[in-house]
Chains A and B, each alone.
Chain A
Amino acid sequence: GQQLNQSPQSMFIQEGEDVSMNCTSSSIFNTWLWYKQDPGEGPVLLIALYKAGELTSNGRLTAQFGITRKDSFLNISASIPSDVGIYFCAGQSGSRLTFGEGTQLTVNP
């Protein structure tokens, strides 16, 4: 089946630093999604990417849909303490989502 490799697994950064995480796949996806999950909550959609090469921003977040359609990255600029959480990438084909293993982000004030 389809598999997503998400890296890094965890990050420990200082407030104000920029963060980058990425996902790669062995298969092509039509849509890439990035979610954030806080403890005790369901994942919240941050950014959706629909076209190969697309670069999309949402506030301090920027994400890109790789040109090969097999990868995506998420950047967070000027991190703040509330950025703490687990970030998941997800590739979508039809209605089926395949999730990466997540990146646990810790931001030290």
Chain B
Amino acid sequence: SAVISQKPSRDICQRGTSLTIQCQVDSQVTMMFWYRQQPGQSLTLIATANQGSEATYESGFVIDKFPISRPNLTFSTLTVSNMSPEDSSIYLCSVERAGLGNEQFFGPGTRLTVL
């Protein structure tokens, strides 16, 4: 599996501000994804981060709120914009390993608390 790191690991932010989360992989991967995990809940896909083109967002998530960058095959960022307490969640990036089943492997997550 790939080694995936995220920065920051956690943060406490004021409402109305924005936070950019970084995801770094130790090898080149084609597919990278961003998920949200609200407190006590399961994981929900926010978007697929496409290298060289705009991210593909899932229903209920928009680019203005969650802009994503993917400048190369090992790095991506997710920004949570104009935050409110409802944005308090764990944000996770994942990568897909090309192969038999294209399994996804997850980073350690970024725990965000918005006051």
Counting chain A CB atoms within 10 Å of each CB, which of B100, B104, B105 scores highest? B104
User: Hey, what's the 0/1 contact readout for B72-112 against A, CB within 8 Å counting as 1?
Assistant: 00000000000000000000101010001111111111010
Complex: A74 Cα to B107 Cα, angstroms: 23
- A95-B41 Cα distance, complex, nearest whole Å: 21
Answer whether A42 and B92 are a contact pair too, CB < 8 Å, given A99-B42, A99-B43, A102-B42. yes
Given A50-B101, A92-B101, A95-B96, the answer on whether A42 and B45 have CB atoms closer than 8 Å is no
Given contacts A95-B96, A99-B43, A102-B42, contact A45 B103 (CB under 8 A): yes
Q: How far is the CA of A6 from the CA of B43 in the complex (A)?
A: 13
One digit per residue, 1 when the CB lies within 8 angstroms of any chain B CB and 0 when it does not, for chain A 88-109 equals 1000100111011110000000
Q: Does B53 lie at the interface of the complex (its beta carbon under 8 Å from any beta carbon of A)?
A: no
| Residue numbers in B under 8 Å from A92 (CB-CB) | 101-102, 104
Query: How many inter-chain contacts with C-beta < 8 Å in the A-B complex?
Result: 54
User: Is residue A28 within 8 Å, beta carbon to beta carbon, of the partner chain?
Assistant: no
With a CB–CB cut-off of 8 A, which chain B residues contact A96?
A: 45
| Contact pick for B109, options A41, A97, A100, CB 8 Å | A41
Nearest-neighbour CB distance to chain B for A9, whole angstroms, equals 11
Residue A76 interfacial (CB < 8 Å): no
Compute how far the CA of A33 lies from the CA of B44 in the bound complex, rounded to whole angstroms. 15
Q: State whether B106 touches A44 (Cβ < 8 A).
A: yes
**Interface size (A, Cβ < 8 Å)?**
21
Q: Known A33-B103, A95-B102, A97-B104; judge A40-B111 contact (CB<8 A).
A: yes
Contact of A43 with B by CB under 8 A: yes
User: Smallest CB–CB gap between A45 and chain B, Å?
Assistant: 6
Binding site for A on B (CB under 8 A): 1, 4, 31, 33, 41-45, 48, 59, 92, 94, 96, 100-109, 111
Offer 14 A-B interface pairs, CB within 8 angstroms, sorted by A.
A1-B59, A31-B102, A33-B104, A40-B109, A40-B111, A42-B4, A42-B94, A42-B107, A42-B108, A48-B103, A88-B42, A95-B31, A97-B104, A99-B42
